[in-house]
Structure 1
Amino acid sequence: MRVVFERNVPIPMRDGVTLRANVFRPEADGKYPVILTRLPYGKDTAFSYALLDPVRMAEAGYIVVIQDVRGRFSSEGQYKGFIQEFDDGYDTVEWAANMPGSNGSVGMYGASYFAFTQWAAAASGHPALKVVTPMVAFDDGWGGVGFRNGAYEWGLAASWYLGAMVLPEIARTKKDSPDFPLLFGRLVHDADHLSESGYFELPLKDFAPMKRADVLPEFFHQMLENRYSDAWRAISIHPHYDSMQVDAHLIGGWYDVFLKSTIESFVRMKKLGREARLVIGPWTHSNYGNGVGDLDFGMAANSNFLDLKYDPTALHQRWFDARLKGVENELAAEPPLRIFVMGENKWRFSSDWPLPETVYTPVYLTSGGHAHSSSTDGKLTMGTLPSENSADNDTYAYDPGDPVLTNGGNLLMTPLYPPGPKDQTTTEAREDVLVYTSDVLSQPLEITGPLKAKLWVTSSAKDTDFIVRLCDVDEKGRSINLADGVVRMRYRNSFEHPELIVPGEVYEIEVDLWATSNVYLPGHRIRVQVTSSNFPRWNRNLNTGASNEESAEFVTATQTILHDANHPSHILLPVIPR
């Protein structure tokens, strides 16, 4: 089938602003479903073609629309951030449903920001929008895009703002200014030096690159609001799920910064009785290959040849064929959940999340009081409570001036802080990192599902952070991170109503490590790290009760982890029986 391509097709919004799109359509007369994506990164860039080949989809009998969102690249208007995508999403779906050649049915696709534009359009409730395919998507600001249990996702915010948003915006809005070469050059310099210097600036309200650029200041400050604000509540998808009329095929990664949102969206949609499917690979936010971090998961993990069967376009097409055209294909016979089990490096199907056969098993932290670094006496015991004689606790000093540097994980940052599974040797050698390790396993142990840790802690500070990380230690002693989580103590009970802590008082806290799927092979060991910083991924807690946004003052805190019979600190593993 021959394909017609149209560039910069105008699409009017309700307020008179014109957005523009590229359109790929079959040349043959007829009525076809429309597949739409809306992105801020440029409809004429590689971003718009990475997940789906519009020519192949048009040849298969679809109209494909790739649109620049408001205020970006070829579209008119002023960019206002995520909030604009609700009304603009509705208006674009309305246009797509009634465009020449459309049969009135619309589906959407895209990753990250242009996965959020799918949820925003679905939240608007247009009846023509039938299906969405969000990949590595967030649905709430407090679930990884802005905050993680109260800790600000500073590494993501600064790098995304400078690199993905401001550089194109300054080129768009100030290209005719006589100062443009100087402004653009300074911004490139700031982006290039973010890893080594910019991340470390305090207070954040004076973040020099933002002030020098003077572009999208409202958007930057909206991202920076270190509280449960109206701006973040307004863009949350959570209040809209009940009214959505779409089916959803979600795609995520075990090391993606939006993993929790992806899983929760699947669970919510399934409970509402919608057709919901989920694929989770061993991927990061932007790497869907087989080589991730320090590991190679094998060719079957590569999304370009997923499970040695599908490329990304084919994966999308079978979903759209089934839901927009009513084609009977193999999708109907497959369980809704397809996940990659690391360690064994195999795909598996399941009917639900968490897996119905899960056995939640506590693994307890113990030591003789010297769990600092991997060579000392921190131990993990599975299913056995600490004895009454296990009264030794572990204490360390957390100095915000010398934080534990980010080393892998669910990241979206500058290249000097790569995401994914990384060797933790350097991190575990620090005196402010407690390390607890199990005995060598004689049998394979699969953990697949949500991960939580419960700790009893004290601090000398008014506010501080506690971070827990789960690792897999191989026969050579290499420790690879699987998942981690943080609690900012002022938000331990409520995001909306923060409370400082009383220095020296014991607090029971729960740390959400999100989820993983991994088989600990025979000869491997389970390891848990406990510390108080993961910077610059999460902004440093200054230990004073003051905000990074307003203050540059900090103090060192004395942190204690209790692990006796009355305070059985542990991590709860989702064990899958074999």
Structure 2
Amino acid sequence: MRNVLTIIALLLSVARVADAQPAPGADYDVQDKVVLTTRDGATVSGMLVRRKDAAPTLPTVLQFTIYVRPERDLASLKEIADRGYVAMMAYSRGKYLSQDPIAPYEHDAKDAYDVIDWISRQPWSNGAVGMFGGSYNGFTQWAAAKTLHPALKTIVPYVANRPGMGLPMENNVFINPNYQWAFYVGNNKTLDSAVNDDRERFRKMQFAWWSSGAAYRTIDKIDGTPNPLLQRWMQHPSYDAYWQAMAPYKDEFAQIRIPVLSVDGYYNDSQVSGVNYLREHLRYVPNAEHYLIIGPYGHFGAQRGGEKLINGMEVPDAALIDTKAITYQWLDYILKNGPKPGVLKDKINYQVMGTEQWRSAPSLAAMSNETLKLYLSNVSLASANKQRAHLLSAVRPGKPAMLRQVVDFRDRKQFNNDYYPGSIVTDEIDTSNGYIFISAPFEDEVLYNGAFGGEIAARINKRDFDLGVTLYELTPEGKYFHLSYIINRASYAKDPSRRMLLTPGRLERIPLGMTKLVSKRLSKGSRLVVYLNVNKNPFSQLNYGTGKDVSDETIADAKEKLKVEWSNRSYITVPILRLAQ
């Protein structure tokens, strides 16, 4: 409780620091009103701290963020300076002392380059810059690497966001939980914590939108406050040039040849973004010095070394690491020729849930030594005592068959697709709609190690739909352990940058794209459970299937029910590490 109150007090303090800047400490030279002019004539502001007894020239550690918390930021900068660096905090264009419009994501790549260039030309700089930070600060590091400045020697992104791919939409589906974030960062020069903390307001808003049947584009009218940033983002439902300009894209990763240390969590909501940076980096630079540390952490836990309890699950002591200490060890390793952090046994370093064990692998692919291909069959499992339960089969069904589902989008009483791991371990899962598929029990203990994939084959009577696939372990004790999930817009499944509408009545093959990376011990007798459904709930856009921009569809487009035929040729792929091998 004390920690919660401390955080609340810290957030509330933000509103009081706009005019009263922190006073410099006796041991530090503090520049708390740094304002830089960018190449296009805008301004970026920030703070700079050096110890008075520092060497004449030093490497610089830069944090680049949209989150302006001057008191906390100054404390962070002093800590960095105490570690033997020049410390700088730069804020996104429009924040702090910058008078330009606030536009999250849009200018950070170019502005970060300009800040690094300015640092490299200062008399106290030895020409080397390192960056670290989480969430938005993780994104800005990759943004800075998009056009790599020669002075940038390393980045340490935690739970890095990838705009357009993780937020504000996930696999091209706009999601609601972070609706208020645009107000939080966009309402003033620091942060609007009062708005961000008003969860009741935004929960009420999304259920009011759900009940009204109004177009998603009008959701801010239902809230009663215009949300211009969201409206701008909704103009780009594809991962188009707007989003591509914000972070490295395709072969832009090829020139990122600096060492990288990424930190992420199995239950970090934006994990698909952070791990996608890793996948793309290694795709274009296979021998990149890029390390990953990942464990049973959420978005905030990964940034501070984990939490003892996450979504109701107790985390083993072995999983609780000192993220900050590892970060400084890494910065010393790269910028001061110090030893490499001991935790980095290999490129991929992961904690195995269900054990006290950490393991390492030279690559993501090497985390597993077998891939199970399991079909969503039409074989009914009456003995499972579960509605709509069928066999998740290791053998391809001999005769093609369909499982049929009808979804009435006019009905606001029935929610479909309960995919989010509110509780990681539960006694039961939703079986009121959708389909459940259950595998045969494992004959030996194995590790679920990696990210599941697969392909859903389906035929619908409309031009588009959003589907969800959730993967569980069903333990011998009858508990459901949430492993991973995906929500996917069928029309973007093959290419998030280009919408390809479905042909009504034709069997379509829908690839399952990015899912979360997870390591979990599966005991002998455990089974895998797949929950397949159509996405229809108040927590994201509602795709009525007309083929129009989903943001413009309304309940008037729901006169015809969605009819889905799920083919037994659908399958998932599951990465397994068999320890005996």
Find out whether 1:292 has 2:310 as its counterpart: yes
Alignment of structure 1 residues 123-138 onto 2, 5 Å: 123-138=146-161
Find out whether 1:275 has 2:301 as its counterpart: no
CA, structure 1 residues 170+267, in 2 after alignment: closer, same or farther (shift >3 Å)? closer
Letter in structure 2 aligned against 1:386: P
Match of 2:47 in 1: 22
Tell me, what secondary structure is at the counterpart of 1:284?
A: coil
Alignment of structure 1 residues 485-504 onto 2, 5 Å: 485-504=486-505
Which consecutive residues of structure 1, in runs of 5 or more, have no partner in the other structure?
A: 173-180, 410-417
Candidates 401, 404, 407, aligned match of 1:395: 404
Tell me, what secondary structure is at the counterpart of 2:359?
A: strand
Match of 1:414 in 2: none
Alignment of structure 1 residues 91-170 onto 2, 5 Å: 91-139=114-162, 141=164, 143-150=165-172, 152-162=173-183, 164-168=184-188
Any conservation in 1 of the 2:234–2:551 contact (CA below 8 Å)?
A: no
Find out whether 1:385 has 2:396 as its counterpart: yes
Aligned-residue offset at 1:134: 1.1
Hey, what's the Cα distance between the residues in 1 that align with 2:279 and 2:469?
25
CA, structure 1 residues 476+577, in 2 after alignment: closer, same or farther (shift >3 Å)? closer
What is the identity percentage for the equivalent residue pairs of Structure 1 and Structure 2? 20
Any conservation in 2 of the 1:36–1:66 contact (CA below 8 Å)?
A: yes
Hey, what's the Cα distance between the residues in 1 that align with 2:28 and 2:133?
22
May I ask how many residue pairs the two structures share in their alignment?
537
Letter in structure 2 aligned against 1:155: N
Candidates 45, 55, 61, aligned match of 1:35: 61
CA, structure 1 residues 440+277, in 2 after alignment: closer, same or farther (shift >3 Å)? same
Letter in structure 2 aligned against 1:78: P
Match of 1:348 in 2: 359
CA offset digits 1:129-179 (Å, max 9, x no partner): 1111111113462x32244333x13224524224x334446988xxxxxxx
Candidates 415, 421, 424, aligned match of 1:421: 424
Match of 1:562 in 2: 567
CA offset digits 1:298-327 (Å, max 9, x no partner): 12223xxx1xxxx22211111100111111
Any conservation in 2 of the 1:367–1:377 contact (CA below 8 Å)?
A: no
Hey, what's the Cα distance between the residues in 2 that align with 1:170 and 1:248?
29
Hey, what's the Cα distance between the residues in 2 that align with 1:405 and 1:572?
20
Match of 1:88 in 2: 111
Find out whether 1:234 has 2:245 as its counterpart: yes
CA, structure 1 residues 423+541, in 2 after alignment: closer, same or farther (shift >3 Å)? farther
Match of 2:482 in 1: 481
Hey, what's the Cα distance between the residues in 1 that align with 2:530 and 2:196?
44
Which consecutive residues of structure 2, in runs of 5 or more, have no partner in the other structure?
A: 1-25
Aligned-residue offset at 1:66: 1.4
Aligned-residue offset at 1:530: 0.4
| TM-score where L is the length of structure 1 | 0.83
CA, structure 1 residues 224+210, in 2 after alignment: closer, same or farther (shift >3 Å)? farther
Aligned-residue offset at 1:12: 3.2
Letter in structure 1 aligned against 2:530: V
Hey, what's the Cα distance between the residues in 2 that align with 1:371 and 1:532?
23
CA, structure 1 residues 315+186, in 2 after alignment: closer, same or farther (shift >3 Å)? closer
CA, structure 1 residues 55+374, in 2 after alignment: closer, same or farther (shift >3 Å)? farther
Hey, what's the Cα distance between the residues in 2 that align with 1:372 and 1:467?
25
Tell me, what secondary structure is at the counterpart of 2:244?
A: helix
Letter in structure 1 aligned against 2:89: I
Hey, what's the Cα distance between the residues in 2 that align with 1:533 and 1:505?
20
Letter in structure 2 aligned against 1:528: V
Hey, what's the Cα distance between the residues in 2 that align with 1:168 and 1:209?
21
CA, structure 1 residues 25+353, in 2 after alignment: closer, same or farther (shift >3 Å)? same
Tell me, what secondary structure is at the counterpart of 1:83?
A: coil
Hey, what's the Cα distance between the residues in 2 that align with 1:120 and 1:476?
46
Hey, what's the Cα distance between the residues in 2 that align with 1:346 and 1:118?
30
Hey, what's the Cα distance between the residues in 1 that align with 2:151 and 2:427?
49
Any conservation in 1 of the 2:132–2:155 contact (CA below 8 Å)?
A: yes
Alignment of structure 1 residues 52-63 onto 2, 5 Å: 53-63=76-86
Aligned-residue offset at 1:211: 7.9
Tell me, what secondary structure is at the counterpart of 1:320?
A: helix
Any conservation in 1 of the 2:68–2:190 contact (CA below 8 Å)?
A: no
Any conservation in 2 of the 1:190–1:198 contact (CA below 8 Å)?
A: no
> RMSD value over aligned CA atoms?
3.3
Hey, what's the Cα distance between the residues in 2 that align with 1:495 and 1:221?
18
Match of 2:99 in 1: 76
Tell me, what secondary structure is at the counterpart of 2:452?
A: strand
Range with greater deviation from structure 2 (464-473 or 517-526):
517-526
Range with greater deviation from structure 2 (550-559 or 227-236):
227-236
Hey, what's the Cα distance between the residues in 1 that align with 2:293 and 2:578?
22
Any conservation in 2 of the 1:374–1:429 contact (CA below 8 Å)?
A: no
Any conservation in 1 of the 2:367–2:449 contact (CA below 8 Å)?
A: no
Find out whether 1:258 has 2:279 as its counterpart: no
